[in-house]
Structure 1
Amino acid sequence: MRKQQKHVSKTANPKTRSVENSESIPADLIFEISSRLTAKSLSRFRCLSKEWASIFCSRNFAHSFLTRSSARPRLLFTFHVDGKLFSYSAPQPRNPDQDLSHVVVDNHMPIPTRMGSFLIHSPVSGLICPSELWSKRGCNDSKMMMMICNPSAGQFKKLPAARTRRVHVRTYLGYNPIKKEYKVLCMSLSRTYPKISEEHQVLTLGTGKLFWRMIECSLQRCPESGGICINGVLYYSAYQDNWFGVVQNFIVICFDVSSEKFKSLEINLTCSSTPDKLQGSISGRTTSLGLMVLDDAEQHKWSKKTYILPPFWKNLGVDTRLNVVGMTSDSEIAFSPSILSDPFYIFYYDAERNTTVKVRVQGIDFVKNQYIYTFIDHAEDVKPMQVLGF
């Protein structure tokens, strides 16, 4: 006996028939599947429907996606050209070897900015905070520009001007993973040499109305430009200059993002060098690499390890400079040129095996003599700016 077939009216709307004969995907299943995608894919899927856009823009989804993204870190490359901040990211190689010859980047949406010369510190939970090198931009204008940018989402927001009349400032971005709270730390530098930190203030994101608050800090040192936030603590290096070009009393300052308290980790180090060399820069002339290892944070005990670099470094050329951009979870030190080149390479040094691997980065639009920032352990974030209180 033949199965009776259902008859469908020829005049019925095809879209109506499709909806009637299909089952909608549960929101929790969309949530689970989508949190495993890339930020680039989510930016396209967000346009499919209002329901999907609502899921992807929710605070819960943003935090879930960031947690998963942190487990699959990426490389981040940024540079500033013609009033725009360009960003690229690529999968971060795990245990790279000679067989892994290259990585291919994703091109993120350019972010417009009116800044001149500025600094970008290490990304913090997917966000970066570009800020101008100095605050004074005219005879009567001393407002420094700062932004919060999400490279993965191509979003940005200008921050209110810090409360300072000083010319030189330093800013850092911190994140408290317990309260899921971002804070920007800004300090003015003294007018006279050496440039010690003064007028410390904090801006808390996600509070709706943003305003700067002055905080106390008894650690008056010359802060370096580099900084990194780990488990709710912001670390940045500082030093004391004795006016004769000898850097001494080199310390690591720790800023607890939650309590807004400062403490220092002293390093018994005196070096007749410039601050840039202390941050970790090598060239073809470099024959060894020295690392300071913190053995006891309470007692401020450090040990120094020196590694003789393999002959590979001699092939770099004496004019090629590589900056230390971090250490991976596999204990490999990553180096990157500060000037964009074609071809463009990053380098991984395994101190235990004394081996080096060169990885070509493909897909970055070449701009001659352009300064480029390279970061490791970047976590993609899809958090809309309104989640931060904007």
Structure 2
Amino acid sequence: MAAPIAPALPAIPSRSAPEADFDVKMFALFKWATDDFVSFMEAWRAYLETSSTIVDGALNGTTIGQTTPAAGAFTELDVFGSVVVGTPESWTFAASWRGIKVTARHALQATPNAGSVALSSNCAIGPSGWEYTFDAMAGNYAQAGGAHIFNRAVAGVEGDPVTFIETARFEDNGVFKPGADNSQSLGAAAKRWSVVYAGSGAINTSDERSKEQISDLDAAETRVAIAAKGLLKKFKFRDAVAAKGATARWHFGVIAQELASAFEAEGLDAFDYGLLCWDEWWEADVQVPAVYVDEITKLFDEEGNLLAEPITEAVLAEPARIERQTFESAETAPEGAERFDRYGVRYDELIAFILAAL
């Protein structure tokens, strides 16, 4: 339904005009005010009810505000309470929270007074606290008191309370922390950081109270340490040569496989020692299915009465795609996944090991 167009205003009579002409123009103006303009306002009422207003407490599924002309668009939407967008399902937030439910699984919520905000997936603040919105895993990002907090939760049942496990946070002073002490890695075997810039070196725990079975190197370990000193070489990394050619820089260190052989030559297992590392993983191109959301259309008559049951139609939200994914074990990897492995060395421990034998 197009927006009504205001009727043209008739000619305004002038007192200097002849009496007959004045009467005709006054009659036209009177008719415009009592007939044309009243009809125009009635047409606007019908337009608002059927096109862009709330009827009987329910939105009729059409656009609020005009996009053409731009002046018809709303500049601000004030809501006391919560807003549901993109899903027919309502959600009752906790009394101290306000929120926008973006889909059936996602919500943006905030506390008006406490200064907290949370972007959640498969969970929302209900009257009794965080609750699952679907039978699946849940997670959220929260900002509270200047800190940025990332949380996750194991799979749960719709309506059950959610118990979050903090995975990481940025404090208000910029300090980045893991969710729990000494329990998480920074990066992974298949997702490494290329360079770490730091003003000082890493601090490793060396407190006597954290250690046991403290002893000197035995004879076999000493021989391996001396052999390890002779394994130091210079080399270039293949990926650096591929990217930079002859300008790739030289590096110094050991070859991990040679270090493992030095332990083996003395009847020792290199992996009993923390200086040598080895990781394996699997990668595969995984078909990620398309995501659809329900779009609801409601039809009303001129009095605002619902003409029929709302029409629900599945609308494509995210198209299907192929995504390269990493898996930590053969059991979790799909059939046909490609296996990778890589050796690594903790050079701080290797250097300490060599120095112990000198």
State whether TM-score is above 0.5: no
So what's the TM-score if we normalise by structure 2? Answer: 0.22
The structure that is strand-richer by fraction is 1
Between Structure 1 and Structure 2, whose CA radius of gyration is higher?
2
Q: TM-score normalized by structure 1?
A: 0.21
Q: Which has the higher contact order (CA 8 A, sep 6+)?
A: 1
